[in-house]
Structure 1
Amino acid sequence: MLRSLFSMCVPAQDLPMSKVDPRGRDSARVTTLPSRYCVRAITDVAITSSSTETQGSDVHVVYRIVVSRQGERWTVLRRYRQFLELHNKLVQLHACTLQFPERVFFQNRDRAVVEQREAALNVYLKALLADAKIKDTPEFRTFVGADADGSGSKYTQFSYAYRSGRKLLSSTSS
């Protein structure tokens, strides 16, 4: 009886190869998502510079972040306040325990303070990218501009918070 039961089973290798993918699944049932739903890994983030900006009577420092992802590179501008909002969200939603640079209340636009904060924020960004549970969160990806449409993101609602970039040309040497 067992022999007859096993004879009814068709092993995966006996199925027509045109209908089986490399993992042995029926390829007629496999669907692919549009590229807008695929998460492509961010490979690098770095704060390259900072500048003092004025919006009305508000004077603040803006940090230029260069982000790289699989053949693409773009720039986003962020204020310290936005870094702090991101950190608070990550702590609340994902129990992030990374050290965040302290806030400076007086002389926060002094060049030495700005350079020190820039270095500390750069270390913080790289630590976020190295953290497997944080780097693919919607909050982090939106902050670095990985979600190009920025739908509903308050990180793109400022005139200085833009995402610019281009695809990198793959260099081939002959």
Structure 2
Amino acid sequence: METTEFSRLDDAGVAQILASKSMRLDFRQGTIPKAEVGLPDSAYAPDVVAPTGDKFTLSVTGGSGTLNAQTDHVRFTTTDTSPDLDLVYYFLTTESLDQYVQLVRDAVTDYGLNADAANRWIDGALKDPGKKSNYSLGDGNKLGFNVGYDLRYDGSKKTQVIIVTVSAAS
């Protein structure tokens, strides 16, 4: 892997991500080796958080395609004894039910999430837009890795959140 093709997660790499408003990750192996992103095996990866009001483009390349998203926060799961980052979380936000529903529909098409589960949730939300719901749509693996959507909808709030997970396909 060329260090210029994908983002690094050391201090200089995070500064570059924030300056360029772009993060590119290589998930073709189902994990991200810490050494390839400038971290020692004993490190925990940093959360990458855009300045308030900003977002950056996240691209995650898998064996069968690339995930592209606009987010303001990316988090990684690992331990201080693992040489890899094996789980990536990022957060999608919207300020309307219509935008939220579109993100869910796009995930069905783009990542292979379960259409029936998505449509049931959408139907319920459209019938009661003021409701509060925590609902997982499970994983799709169309890109060569799993993409999961955890819907955190609260119709009483202005900003709605989807927690997205990227993990190795089983």
TM-score w.r.t. structure 1 length? 0.29
* Larger gyration radius, structure 1 or structure 2: 1
TM-score w.r.t. structure 2 length? 0.29
Q: Which has the higher helix share?
A: 1
